[in-house]
Structure 1
Amino acid sequence: MANILDKIIANKRREVEAADKLLGPEVAITTDRETVSLRNALLDSPTGIIAEFKRRSPSKGEIHPLALVNEVVPAYEDAGASACSILTDTVYFGGALTDLANARAHSSLPLLRKDFIVSRRQIAEARAFGADAVLLIAAALTLREVKDFTTYAHSLGLEVLFEIHNATELDKYVPEVDLVGVNNRDLTTFHTDPLLSEKVAKELPSDVVKVAESGLTSMAEVEQLRASGFSGFLIGETFMRHDHPGEALRRFIDGTL
């Protein structure tokens, strides 16, 4: 029986194939905007928080279905986010590439295109719509794809956040990636263990920029992970379930959330 991740990836491949047939395999990149380094932003930030914009998820259902990027992302920036992650998957997360473009128009922060990348097409779309980095998920890709997509992303000026869930997925790690994320959420079951990042950190190369993803609910957890060598902390639902996600981020940072 297919797990949730298998279903998402199968649907994503169908979407990419349909786009290739309808629009052609090449994505026009007309922007000459200089990208902003996600890696440097995290290393230089006092919080390291990548605040995520998403409306729903397969595990939680509707989170903030009517959220507007042009309101949430600037509020995140004002509240002290180091970067923003924009969910662009429509079927499972309620996002769109237009959300990414809208975020770019309203923020100077580094933007991560958060999606299930299975094709060079999606990487080119990320560049065209305003991203500075893309997510490559080990569980969804082969080692060959990780290498190819990383090289292609770099050729477009994009950085790569390589995501794993456990140490065994490090067999797909390539040193050319810019950051390594540990997802505390198992994408096959969507079970979340907020302490997983700390456990897996011991297996990561010592010199990589580490990002903890999912399930973080307090600055105490962030500081504990920072002490374990993490520089970035990708947090979405903790903020997005509030009416005003930017204010939730502000309260998260000052410890009053």
Structure 2
Amino acid sequence: MNILDKIIATKENEVAKQKQKVNVEQLKKYPGFARKCNSLKENLLSPGASGIIAEFKQKSPSKGEINFAVKVEEVTKAYTQAGASCLSVLTDYEYFGGTLANLAKAREVNPTIPILRKDFMIDSYQIIEAKAYGADVILLIAACLEKNQALELAKCAKTLGLDVLMEIHNAQELDIVNDYVDIVGVNNRNLKTFEVSVETSVELSKLIPDNFVKISESGLVGATEINYLKEHGFKGFLIGETFMKTADPGAACKKLIEEIGD
């Protein structure tokens, strides 16, 4: 069993337990559920957008502990002030140290910027949960979903007004991308081996239809890489570890955005 299989098995148990604690009707009464979402797709296509999707991530299976010395409210607010186009907040606890509470806190101090709930989405319950806690965008990972499952989850998200980011790792996974998807993200990290190559994004960019906004994820560290990816049609760049491993993630984000330029 590889790490992705282990994560999904854990997630199935987590979701089952969470459904017993808080049902769908209760989630729909949360204040966040009634709010109008901020569109990531629109933000990424706006003139002058940095394209940076700045992530709050405190640990990962590949790197272990990254940074537990910072607060989500302070970091995400600094990301927003630095000019990020979107915030990404991990909500998986077991493997990434994330929580739904972190998502809610980020939403409270950043009312107008799109926020991505970064997790392993396998059930429509999680999408309703994402909306209730203040997310604007949900992540669907092609590697852990069947085609029909991905379609139903994406459709559910669009019904709630959420943007849908579909993450792929290879050309075969493009078959899972459907008409309810707004953004296609190429993860440069192989989830089974954890090896990273930006060329994964470059190669797959040629195969992604133009009607989808393209973003690149994982292993991005500098302005040179980002400008290189822009030449291949990428509008968004998800960056977490590069910022989070510093003492001041917000300052690191600001510096990178200044280096990217227009």
Give the TM bin, normalised by the shorter chain: over 0.9
Partner of 1:34: 36
| 1:58 partner letter | P
User: Does residue 262 of structure 2 align to residue 245 of structure 1?
Assistant: no
Are 1:92 and 2:95 counterparts? Answer: yes
Mapping of 1:59-208 within 5 angstroms? 59-107=62-110, 108-208=112-212
- CA deviation after TM superposition for structure 1 residue 202, in Å: 0.8
TM-score (norm 1): 0.96
Letter in 1 for 2:222: S
Corresponding position of 1:14 = 13
Give the percent of matched residue pairs that are identical in Structure 1 and Structure 2.
49
Residue type of the alignment partner of 1:75: A
CA drift at 1:197: 0.5
Task: Say whether residues 1:222 and 2:221 are aligned partners.
Answer: no
The answer on whether the counterparts of 2:124 and 2:156 sit within 8 Å (CA) in structure 1 is yes
* TM-score for the superposition, normalised by structure 2: 0.94
Determine the structure 1 residue equivalent to 2:51: 48
**Counterpart of 2:77 in structure 1: which amino acid?**
P
Report the aligned-residue RMSD.
1.3
Unaligned runs of 5+ in 2: none
Residues 55-75 of structure 1: CA distance to partner in whole angstroms, max 9, x if unpaired?
000000010023211100000
What is the rounded CA distance, in whole Å, between the counterparts of 1:27 and 1:79 in structure 2? 36
Count of residues in Structure 1 that have an aligned counterpart in Structure 2? 255
* Cα offset, 1:160, TM superposition: 0.4
Name the aligned partner's letter for residue 89 of structure 1: D
Kindly indicate whether the alpha-carbon contact (under 8 Å) linking 1:165 and 1:186 is maintained by their aligned counterparts in 2: yes
How far the C-alpha of 1:33 sits from its partner, in A, is 1.3
* 1:34-53 Cα deviation digits (max 9, x unpaired): 11001011111431000000
- Cα drift, residue 206 of structure 1: 2.0
SS in 2 for 1:249: helix
Question: Quick check: 1:27–1:125 contact (8 Å CA) kept in 2?
Answer: no
